[in-house]
Every structure is written in C-alpha cells, then in structure tokens.
Amino acid sequence: MPELLRFLRSELRLVAGRRRNQAGVLVLMALPIAIVVGNKVSGQVDGGGGTGAGFVDQITSNGIFAAFAALTIELGLFLPLGIAMVSGDAVAGEAQAGTLRCLLTVPVGRTRMLVVKYLGLVVTGIFGAVVVAVTGVVFGAIFFGVGPLTTLSGRQIPLTDGVWRLALSVLYVSAGLAALAAVGLFVSTLTEQPIAVTVVVMVFTAGSWILDSIPQLAAVHPWLLVDRWLSFADLMRDPPEWGTVVSGLGVDAAYAAVFLLAAWASFTNRDVTS
C-alpha cells in the first residue's frame, strides 16, 4: 500500500506538472466566470427551456446556480476533453516517450501500474468537477450573492441544503467522468499515440451525445454512457428524484467495469517495446 500511494503521488505530480493540463484548468475556470459575467452584463438571460437553461435563469437570484449551470455546460465538451487528454498520456504517452518499458522494469507490475494510472484519471476528473463548481460558487457569490435556493420544483430550501446537493452533484459528475476514464485507459493501452487516444475518446463521447439526442433511438439511450450524465439536476428537485441518479451510477459502474477489464486484458498481454 505505501508503494502504491507513492506511485500515485508521483503520477499526480506528473499530471499536474504538464503545461497543457494547467492550461486546461484555466479553461475549465473560464466558462463559469463567463456565465456569471454574461448574466451580470445582460441582466437577464432567456434560457428557452431545458435543465441547463433553468439553472442559468436562476443565477441572478442566487449565485450558487452558476456552479450547476457550469457543470451542465462543461459536461458537453470541456470535462470529457480533459479526461481524453490525460487518458492519452496515461499509457500511450509513456510508450511514445520511451518511458513505459523503463517504468515496467521497476518491480511495479502491470496490474498495479494500470490501477495507479486509473486512479490518477479519477482524481483528475474529481479535481476538474470541483474546480468548475467552486469557481461558479465563488464568482456567483461575488456578483449575485448567495442565500436560500429555489429548487427546480419551485420550493425554497436553505443554503446549507443547496450546498450539500451541489457536493452530491459534483460527486455524480465525477462518477461519469471516472467511467469515461476507463474507456480512455483502455484505448490508451492499444496505441502509442496520445493524440489518437484523445480523438477516439472525444469521438466516442460526441457520438454518444448525438445518438442520445435522436428520439428514434430511444431504445438505445439507456445503454449510452452520457444518457444520465445530466441527471444530477434531479438532485435539485424537491424531493430529489433518486431513481435516475441511481440508474446513472449503475451505468457508470458497468462501463467502468467492462473497460477496466478490457484495459487489463489488453495491457497484460501487450508486448512492450518502448
């Protein structure tokens, strides 16, 4: 266990030290700031319906909704892109840099290495979701203040209850990103080109969103990873609708299990030459 934690700390330092990852964090922070500033400048936003629009419409009355709106919007592109980029570096990046073979000469073991790489991806996803939420809350509070929240059901709840629901929403979003990270890790074991991993994971994500938006494919929707990604909005109803949240977590767990097993099978049988 101490060796595993030491390996994980080293992996997290490596991820945090990359300039493009640092730039990615700034991009994640920029969107909630833009949402808040845009609302402040315009004074009012016509959301036009939808969960994300509902959150945006309420930012002027309570800044904490900036966090919910930012999570909703960033799940469409920037958070998955962050996971896709870091997934490319996980195994494929090591192979391209010529450090994978050297890394495996240390008594680490391929399974332990995959575990550490995956945990690094999971921590990255959690960090990204927290950054988005915290930035939204901070700037929302500065520009619009915070207080008791009006849920999507129209009932007012205390601020502490709203913060608790936001924390649960961040964990729910992180679970979806963890499932996507398993997909990325599997793809990363198949190639030595990090950019290829990023492209494949983003095509997978975008394709899933497209399929999920086609009504004629409703029978397929429950099997898509992204289908319930936005179900954290149900935590802001009164009472919270736990059914969709639990089913979403089940889909996340299934994807993570299948693709982690596939990654393990691929990597343990791989002939590492670089």
For residue 45, what pLDDT band results from cuts at 50, 70 and 90?
very low
Q: Which of the four pLDDT bands, split at 50, 70 and 90, describes residue 206?
A: very high
The answer to the question of residue 274 being in a domain is no
Q: Tell me the sheet residues that pair with 150.
A: 156
> What was the pLDDT predicted at 57?
82
The beta-carbon contacts of 201-204 under 8 Å, at least 24 apart in sequence, are 201/80, 201/83, 201/84, 201/87, 201/88, 202/80, 202/81, 202/84
Residue 140 confidence (pLDDT) above 90: yes
Nearby residues of 192 by Cβ (< 8 Å), 6 or more positions away? 92, 95, 96, 274
Beta bridge partners of 157: 149
Residue partners of 170: CB distance under 8 A and separation at least 6: 71, 126, 129, 130, 133
Is position 85 within any domain?
A: yes
Kindly tell me the burial class for residue 215, based on how many C-beta atoms sit within 10 Å of its own C-beta (0-12, 13-18, 19 or more): exposed
Q: Which two tokens stand for residue 147?
A: 């207080």
Which pLDDT value is given to residue 174?
98
pLDDT of 269: 77
- pLDDT band for 105, please (50, 70, 90 cuts): low
All residues at 6 or more sequence positions from 169 whose CB lies less than 8 Å from its CB, including other chains = 68, 71, 133, 232, 235, 236
Q: Is the pLDDT of residue 52 over 60?
A: no
**Residue 247, pLDDT score:** 97
* Segments forming the whole domain that contains residue 65: 2-268
- Structurally, how many domains does the chain consist of? 1
Is-above-0.85 flag for pTM?
yes
The pLDDT tens digits of the residues spanning 162-183 come to: 999 999 999 999 999 999 999 9
Tell me what pLDDT residue 111 has: 85
Look at residue 6 and tell me if it is in a domain: yes
Residue-level pLDDT at 22? 95
Report residue 215 CA to chain centroid gap: 25
Average pLDDT score over residue span 62-84: 95
Quote the pLDDT of residue 103. 59
The predicted model gives 220-237 an average pLDDT of 95
Give the mean pLDDT of the chain: 90
pLDDT beyond 70 at 43: no
**Average pLDDT of the residues in 99-106:** 59
pLDDT of residue 51: 54
CA distances from 201 to 89, 187, 197, 198 (A): 13, 8, 6, 5
